[in-house]
Amino acid sequence: MKIRKVVISFCILFIIPFLLSTSILRIVSATDYDVADETQLVSAISLADFTNGDVIYLLNDIQLTSMLQITAGMNITLKSKPSAGDTTYKLIGANGHATVGVTNTGILNIDGISITHNSGASGHGVFVGFGTYVGATEENGTVNLLSGSINGNTDYRGGGVHVLNGTFNMYGGSIYDNKAIDPAVEFGFGGGVDVNDYAVFNMYAGEIRNNTASSNGGGVSAFGYFYMEDGEIHNNSSDTYGGGVYCEHGNAPFDMVGGIISNNYSGYAGGGVAINGNRVMNMTGGEITDNDSFVLGGGIYVFMNSTINIENALISRNNSMYGNAGGIAVYNGCSATISNSVISYNVAAYDGGGIYLIGELVVNAGVSFLNNQATNTNGGAIRTESATYANIKTHPGTIFSGNTASLGYEPPANYNSYVDIGFASTSITYHPINNYDINYIGNTDAQIILTYMPNGGTGVTLSESTSYKSANFTVKDVDDLGFTRAGYIFVGWNTKSDNSGVEYLPGEAITGLTSNMILYAQWQPITTGNPNTTDISVLAVTIVLITSLLSSCWLIVKSAEET
């Protein structure tokens, strides 16, 4: 026992202090660096051991005179020093330079600061992978946006963030008021974020808003891989394609599993999203809503042999202001597959309120086309350029409801021959090839018919009709129709002959009728009372009258005899 105590005491007094004083055992703690200017910031970066979680705190706004470089082996976190009011300090880039550049294996964590430029200055906010472009195997740094913002930056490729190589991860914060424009060149891609071939952008949260591009991708331009899990891309604009997101060529898809793309605008096509050049978009969740395009594809524009797969998603309230495809435009050589999704309230100035189709469309189970509108021409839900409808396949459970076009038509006589067009309901008529749901211009305008039936009375059955565009009626009076029934009085109309349906009175308005209706006259017998009681009453009155008359006669006779 005494030997054990001696050994323990010896370790405490001599062995452990010796180990702590050598590299054999060293307890390392993170160090915080407070910086107030560019010189202190650069010095802190060179001194810090960032493998231990050291953090650099900005004490105030810092103006840079050159790009701040994060190189191999560095893992840097930039924060604003906590203070009253939770001030977010700015790291301001030099004119003509990116504010921060991250290269081989370097890591930058942006946590509560603003990466920006002064008004009128140019340069990316963040440049990932600066240097010579090599290819898919080059490992060129990582930037993580945790909180804070990247705002007020301008460059023709990725005003906010340009990912040449490497990875940009967005876990929070915001990217806003950036521009992809340069008067010296004729194009600008990715106002908020531009992702080059083989680069990666993962959006887990946060928002990308109010960014602009002189060409394509107001919010995001992705030639490389773009993964969107959550967050929102909204109120961005582009002059040509993809107000919210533009994807072109590249070797990886755009995978959208959640989040919202909304209220974006494109000057030509793809208000929400534009997919170009053999690109694939897989949308397995989320919403594309309230986007506008000047000409084509208010929600999504798909062209140049590209593909979209949509599942468990909402495409709603998008608008093509002066052209086709309020919701989705699918052009030559392209295909769209839709499952378990809702296409609703999209509006096209001309053809295809929900979808305008030149390519191929497959609609699987669980899809609804609701209240889409082709304002001036055809195909409220779907407009196809195939005269035989050979490029459309819809599941038998597909719901068409409330869709409208300039005019509805009776389906073609051979409507049963279109075996690939399945449906569970239609907006009008008995088949979706009626122009309100799927485009068709027949010889007869589809009509809604209101029929009046005598229902036991006499008179000629009358039907009146109106087009689907204005299906409103005023209920007629029975006298106007010449209906009569002996011994009965007319009391109103009902949608069922036995008076078990909906009741209507003469002069009542029927508005918004979308299918044929029959009104049956309702009659009640004329009430004459109980025959036995009536006979007794009449007899009693008669007896009283006769008695009174006889009494009067007797008095007259008696008076005459006395005189």
pLDDT at residue number 516? 84
In angstroms, the CA 188 to CA 180 distance is: 5
**Structure-token pair, residue 305:** 């042999």
13-22, 45-54, 315-324, 471-480, range with the lowest pLDDT:
13-22
pLDDT at residue number 49? 66
Closest by Cα among 454, 435, 451, 455 to 443: 435
From-to residues of CATH 2.60.40 in the chain: 447-525
pLDDT at residue number 536? 43
Architecture per CATH, 447-525: Sandwich (2.60)
pLDDT at residue number 531? 46
pLDDT at residue number 550? 58
In angstroms, the CA 546 to CA 534 distance is: 18
415 burial (CB, 10 Å; 0-12 / 13-18 / 19+) is middle
pLDDT at residue number 120? 95
pLDDT at residue number 317? 98
Question: Which of the four pLDDT bands, split at 50, 70 and 90, describes residue 30?
Answer: low
Identify residue 55 by its one-letter amino acid code.
Answer: V
pLDDT at residue number 468? 75
Q: What is the pTM of this model?
A: 0.81
Closest by Cα among 194, 216, 219 to 207: 219
pLDDT at residue number 8? 42
pLDDT at residue number 57? 95
In angstroms, the CA 123 to CA 556 distance is: 132
Question: Which of the four pLDDT bands, split at 50, 70 and 90, describes residue 31?
Answer: confident
pLDDT at residue number 545? 53
Q: Is 19's pLDDT higher than 80?
A: no
Q: Which residues of 109-120 are buried (b: 16+ CB within 10 A; e: fewer)?
A: bbbbbbbbbeee
32-41, 228-237, 351-360, 550-559, range with the lowest pLDDT:
550-559
Q: Is 2's pLDDT higher than 60?
A: no
pLDDT at residue number 336? 98
pLDDT at residue number 385? 96
| Rounded average pLDDT over 147-169 | 96
Q: Which residue has the higher pLDDT, 228 or 542?
A: 228
193-207, 422-436, 534-548, range with the lowest pLDDT:
534-548
pLDDT at residue number 292? 98
Q: Is 524's pLDDT higher than 60?
A: yes
| Rounded average pLDDT over 366-390 | 97
Q: Which residue has the tokens 């459309």?
A: 392
Tell me the pLDDT of the chain averaged across its residues: 88
Q: Is 345's pLDDT higher than 50?
A: yes
